Amino acid sequence: MVDYSNAAESVPSSIAELDHLFRTAGVDMTVKACNKAIEEWTENSGDITHTVAVTCTNQGNPGFDVLVNERLRLSTSVERVLLHGVGCAGGLAIMRTAAQLACGATMRGRPAKILCFACELSTANIRYELDAVAKCVELSQVSIAGALFSDAAAAFVLCNDLGLQSAIRPVFELLDWTTATIPGTKNELEFHAEAKGASKQTAWHQIEIMLIKEQVIVLCSTDLFRSMLSQPFVRLSISCCPHFVHKQCVTT
Protein backbone atom coordinates (compact mmCIF):
# COMPACT_ATOMS: atom_id res chain seq x y z
CA MET A 1 0.00 0.00 0.00
CA VAL A 2 1.30 3.44 -0.93
CA ASP A 3 0.72 6.13 1.68
CA TYR A 4 -0.58 9.32 0.06
CA SER A 5 -1.64 10.91 3.34
CA ASN A 6 0.59 13.90 2.53
CA ALA A 7 -1.19 14.55 -0.76
CA ALA A 8 -2.66 17.83 0.47
CA GLU A 9 0.73 19.39 1.20
CA SER A 10 1.32 22.60 -0.71
CA VAL A 11 4.79 21.72 -2.01
CA PRO A 12 4.76 19.36 -5.03
CA SER A 13 6.90 16.22 -4.90
CA SER A 14 10.47 16.49 -6.14
CA ILE A 15 11.87 14.58 -9.09
CA ALA A 16 13.89 12.44 -6.69
CA GLU A 17 10.79 11.55 -4.64
CA LEU A 18 8.78 10.63 -7.71
CA ASP A 19 11.63 8.54 -9.12
CA HIS A 20 12.17 6.67 -5.85
CA LEU A 21 8.46 5.89 -5.54
CA PHE A 22 8.26 4.51 -9.06
CA ARG A 23 11.40 2.41 -8.75
CA THR A 24 10.13 0.83 -5.54
CA ALA A 25 6.32 0.68 -5.48
CA GLY A 26 6.00 0.81 -9.26
CA VAL A 27 8.46 -2.02 -9.78
CA ASP A 28 6.71 -4.07 -7.06
CA MET A 29 3.36 -3.67 -8.84
CA THR A 30 4.85 -4.62 -12.19
CA VAL A 31 6.55 -7.73 -10.82
CA LYS A 32 3.24 -8.91 -9.34
CA ALA A 33 1.45 -8.42 -12.67
CA CYS A 34 4.22 -10.24 -14.55
CA ASN A 35 4.23 -13.16 -12.13
CA LYS A 36 0.47 -13.60 -12.60
CA ALA A 37 0.85 -13.53 -16.39
CA ILE A 38 3.73 -16.02 -16.35
CA GLU A 39 1.82 -18.31 -13.98
CA GLU A 40 -1.16 -18.50 -16.34
CA TRP A 41 1.16 -18.92 -19.32
CA THR A 42 2.36 -22.10 -17.46
CA GLU A 43 5.97 -21.96 -18.67
CA ASN A 44 9.05 -20.86 -16.73
CA SER A 45 10.20 -17.26 -16.57
CA GLY A 46 13.58 -18.49 -17.77
CA ASP A 47 12.00 -19.30 -21.14
CA ILE A 48 11.15 -15.65 -21.86
CA THR A 49 13.07 -14.46 -24.94
CA HIS A 50 12.07 -10.77 -25.06
CA THR A 51 10.51 -8.11 -22.86
CA VAL A 52 8.63 -5.04 -24.08
CA ALA A 53 7.78 -2.43 -21.46
CA VAL A 54 6.21 1.02 -21.36
CA THR A 55 5.71 3.86 -18.90
CA CYS A 56 5.09 7.59 -19.15
CA THR A 57 5.55 8.38 -15.46
CA ASN A 58 9.24 7.59 -15.04
CA GLN A 59 12.50 8.30 -16.81
CA GLY A 60 16.01 7.19 -16.02
CA ASN A 61 18.82 4.80 -16.73
CA PRO A 62 18.67 1.94 -16.41
CA GLY A 63 15.01 1.80 -17.34
CA PHE A 64 12.54 0.26 -14.91
CA ASP A 65 12.34 -2.80 -17.16
CA VAL A 66 15.86 -3.77 -16.07
CA LEU A 67 14.74 -3.72 -12.43
CA VAL A 68 11.67 -5.82 -13.24
CA ASN A 69 13.69 -8.35 -15.25
CA GLU A 70 16.15 -8.76 -12.37
CA ARG A 71 13.34 -9.34 -9.88
CA LEU A 72 11.80 -11.94 -12.18
CA ARG A 73 15.22 -13.58 -12.65
CA LEU A 74 14.93 -13.55 -16.41
CA SER A 75 17.84 -14.68 -18.53
CA THR A 76 20.57 -12.11 -19.09
CA SER A 77 20.21 -12.77 -22.83
CA VAL A 78 16.60 -11.50 -22.91
CA GLU A 79 16.14 -8.81 -25.57
CA ARG A 80 14.71 -5.66 -23.97
CA VAL A 81 12.61 -2.85 -25.43
CA LEU A 82 11.41 0.10 -23.32
CA LEU A 83 8.89 2.52 -24.86
CA HIS A 84 8.21 6.06 -23.71
CA GLY A 85 6.23 9.08 -24.86
CA VAL A 86 3.24 7.16 -26.25
CA GLY A 87 0.73 8.29 -23.60
CA CYS A 88 -2.53 6.38 -23.31
CA ALA A 89 -1.57 4.26 -26.33
CA GLY A 90 1.13 2.50 -24.31
CA GLY A 91 -0.69 -0.80 -23.87
CA LEU A 92 -1.39 -1.14 -27.58
CA ALA A 93 2.10 0.08 -28.44
CA ILE A 94 3.80 -2.74 -26.51
CA MET A 95 1.47 -5.27 -28.15
CA ARG A 96 2.30 -3.91 -31.60
CA THR A 97 6.04 -3.83 -30.89
CA ALA A 98 5.96 -7.36 -29.49
CA ALA A 99 4.13 -8.56 -32.59
CA GLN A 100 6.82 -7.09 -34.83
CA LEU A 101 9.53 -8.79 -32.76
CA ALA A 102 7.65 -12.09 -32.97
CA CYS A 103 7.34 -11.83 -36.75
CA GLY A 104 11.06 -11.11 -37.01
CA ALA A 105 11.84 -14.18 -34.91
CA THR A 106 9.57 -16.30 -37.11
CA MET A 107 11.42 -15.19 -40.23
CA ARG A 108 14.67 -16.29 -38.56
CA GLY A 109 13.19 -19.63 -37.51
CA ARG A 110 13.40 -18.80 -33.81
CA PRO A 111 10.83 -19.00 -31.00
CA ALA A 112 9.54 -15.77 -29.50
CA LYS A 113 8.14 -15.76 -25.97
CA ILE A 114 7.64 -12.10 -25.19
CA LEU A 115 6.69 -10.73 -21.78
CA CYS A 116 4.96 -7.36 -22.17
CA PHE A 117 4.26 -5.05 -19.23
CA ALA A 118 3.16 -1.51 -18.45
CA CYS A 119 3.18 0.54 -15.27
CA GLU A 120 1.97 4.05 -14.44
CA LEU A 121 2.02 5.87 -11.10
CA SER A 122 -0.18 8.90 -11.61
CA THR A 123 -1.36 9.54 -8.06
CA ALA A 124 2.16 10.57 -7.08
CA ASN A 125 1.55 13.81 -8.99
CA ILE A 126 -1.54 14.71 -6.94
CA ARG A 127 0.23 17.50 -5.04
CA TYR A 128 1.25 19.08 -8.31
CA GLU A 129 -2.29 18.80 -9.67
CA LEU A 130 -3.78 20.42 -6.54
CA ASP A 131 -1.21 23.21 -6.72
CA ALA A 132 -2.00 23.80 -10.39
CA VAL A 133 -5.75 23.93 -9.72
CA ALA A 134 -5.25 26.45 -6.90
CA LYS A 135 -3.33 28.75 -9.25
CA CYS A 136 -5.64 28.33 -12.24
CA VAL A 137 -7.87 31.34 -12.96
CA GLU A 138 -9.71 29.82 -15.91
CA LEU A 139 -11.86 26.82 -14.99
CA SER A 140 -11.86 25.49 -18.55
CA GLN A 141 -8.09 25.03 -18.27
CA VAL A 142 -8.23 22.85 -15.16
CA SER A 143 -6.71 19.45 -15.91
CA ILE A 144 -8.82 16.40 -15.12
CA ALA A 145 -5.72 14.25 -14.64
CA GLY A 146 -5.87 14.37 -10.84
CA ALA A 147 -9.36 12.86 -10.83
CA LEU A 148 -9.04 10.57 -13.84
CA PHE A 149 -5.86 8.54 -13.39
CA SER A 150 -4.76 6.08 -10.73
CA ASP A 151 -1.86 3.65 -10.26
CA ALA A 152 -1.65 0.27 -11.98
CA ALA A 153 0.52 -2.27 -13.75
CA ALA A 154 -0.44 -4.89 -16.34
CA ALA A 155 1.30 -7.75 -18.14
CA PHE A 156 0.75 -10.46 -20.77
CA VAL A 157 2.82 -12.98 -22.76
CA LEU A 158 2.81 -13.03 -26.56
CA CYS A 159 4.32 -15.91 -28.57
CA ASN A 160 4.83 -16.87 -32.19
CA ASP A 161 4.00 -20.40 -33.37
CA LEU A 162 7.55 -21.59 -32.72
CA GLY A 163 7.35 -20.37 -29.14
CA LEU A 164 3.92 -21.81 -28.36
CA GLN A 165 3.94 -25.21 -26.69
CA SER A 166 1.35 -27.67 -27.98
CA ALA A 167 -0.18 -28.05 -24.52
CA ILE A 168 -0.87 -24.32 -24.22
CA ARG A 169 -4.08 -22.90 -25.63
CA PRO A 170 -3.81 -19.17 -26.32
CA VAL A 171 -6.48 -16.88 -24.91
CA PHE A 172 -6.27 -14.51 -27.90
CA GLU A 173 -4.68 -14.50 -31.34
CA LEU A 174 -3.28 -11.27 -32.75
CA LEU A 175 -4.12 -11.17 -36.45
CA ASP A 176 -2.83 -7.75 -37.51
CA TRP A 177 -2.22 -4.23 -36.24
CA THR A 178 -1.91 -0.65 -37.40
CA THR A 179 -1.40 2.83 -35.98
CA ALA A 180 -2.17 6.39 -37.04
CA THR A 181 -1.15 9.87 -35.95
CA ILE A 182 -3.77 12.56 -36.58
CA PRO A 183 -2.12 15.80 -37.77
CA GLY A 184 -2.61 18.81 -35.52
CA THR A 185 -3.46 16.83 -32.37
CA LYS A 186 -0.10 16.63 -30.58
CA ASN A 187 -1.16 19.26 -28.03
CA GLU A 188 -4.37 17.52 -26.98
CA LEU A 189 -2.70 15.24 -24.42
CA GLU A 190 0.45 17.05 -23.40
CA PHE A 191 2.62 15.95 -20.51
CA HIS A 192 5.80 17.89 -19.75
CA ALA A 193 8.45 17.49 -17.07
CA GLU A 194 8.97 20.65 -15.03
CA ALA A 195 11.46 21.94 -12.51
CA LYS A 196 9.21 20.98 -9.59
CA GLY A 197 9.56 17.36 -10.51
CA ALA A 198 5.96 17.05 -11.57
CA SER A 199 4.25 17.39 -14.92
CA LYS A 200 1.98 19.77 -16.74
CA GLN A 201 -1.08 18.47 -18.50
CA THR A 202 -3.24 20.71 -20.63
CA ALA A 203 -7.00 20.82 -20.23
CA TRP A 204 -8.70 18.05 -22.13
CA HIS A 205 -11.81 18.91 -24.09
CA GLN A 206 -14.13 15.92 -24.25
CA ILE A 207 -15.76 16.84 -27.55
CA GLU A 208 -12.40 17.32 -29.28
CA ILE A 209 -11.08 14.03 -27.95
CA MET A 210 -14.17 12.15 -29.14
CA LEU A 211 -13.78 13.65 -32.63
CA ILE A 212 -10.12 12.64 -32.69
CA LYS A 213 -11.05 9.09 -31.63
CA GLU A 214 -13.52 8.92 -34.51
CA GLN A 215 -10.80 9.96 -36.98
CA VAL A 216 -8.40 7.37 -35.57
CA ILE A 217 -10.97 4.57 -35.77
CA VAL A 218 -11.84 5.35 -39.39
CA LEU A 219 -8.21 5.73 -40.45
CA CYS A 220 -6.91 2.67 -38.61
CA SER A 221 -9.76 0.30 -39.47
CA THR A 222 -9.47 1.06 -43.18
CA ASP A 223 -5.73 0.42 -43.20
CA LEU A 224 -6.07 -2.63 -40.96
CA PHE A 225 -8.61 -4.48 -43.09
CA ARG A 226 -6.67 -3.65 -46.26
CA SER A 227 -3.49 -5.00 -44.67
CA MET A 228 -5.15 -8.20 -43.45
CA LEU A 229 -6.46 -8.97 -46.93
CA SER A 230 -3.17 -8.32 -48.72
CA GLN A 231 -0.60 -9.99 -46.45
CA PRO A 232 0.08 -13.64 -45.57
CA PHE A 233 -1.41 -14.73 -42.26
CA VAL A 234 0.98 -15.10 -39.34
CA ARG A 235 -0.46 -16.43 -36.10
CA LEU A 236 0.65 -14.70 -32.93
CA SER A 237 -0.75 -15.98 -29.66
CA ILE A 238 -1.35 -14.24 -26.36
CA SER A 239 -1.05 -17.12 -23.95
CA CYS A 240 -2.66 -15.54 -20.92
CA CYS A 241 -5.26 -12.98 -20.03
CA PRO A 242 -3.73 -9.53 -19.49
CA HIS A 243 -3.21 -9.25 -15.74
CA PHE A 244 -3.69 -5.99 -13.90
CA VAL A 245 -2.45 -4.95 -10.48
CA HIS A 246 -3.89 -1.82 -8.90
CA LYS A 247 -2.15 -0.22 -5.97
CA GLN A 248 -4.21 0.78 -2.99
CA CYS A 249 -3.53 4.24 -1.65
CA VAL A 250 -4.45 6.26 1.41
CA THR A 251 -5.38 9.90 0.95
CA THR A 252 -6.57 12.56 3.35
Q: Tell me the pairing of strands 2-4 and 243-246.
A: unpaired
Q: Where are the domains of the chain?
A: 2-177+232-251
Q: What mean pLDDT is predicted for residues 153-172?
A: 86
Q: Is 99 in contact with 235 (CB distance < 8 Å)?
A: no
Q: What mean pLDDT is predicted for residues 129-143?
A: 68
Residue 246 has pLDDT above 70, yes or no: no
Q: How far apart are CA 17 and CA 20, in angstroms?
A: 5
pLDDT of res. 97: 95
Catalytic residues, which ones? 88
pLDDT band for position 148 (cuts 50, 70, 90): confident
Q: Is 147 in contact with 20 (CB distance < 8 Å)?
A: no
State residue 27 phi and psi, 5-degree precision.
-65, -40
Residue 59, classified by CB atoms within 10 Å of its CB into exposed (0-12), middle (13-18) or buried (19+), is middle
Could you name the CATH architecture of 2-177+232-251? 3-Layer(aba) Sandwich (3.40)
pLDDT of res. 211: 45
Residue 83 has pLDDT above 90, yes or no: yes
**Position with higher pLDDT, 65 vs 17:** 65
CA 141 to chain centre: 26
Q: What is the pLDDT of residues 193-219, one digit of tens each?
A: 666 555 555 444 443 444 445 555 555
Q: For residue 25, what are the CA distances in angstroms to 1, 17, 52, 111, 163?
A: 8, 12, 20, 33, 32
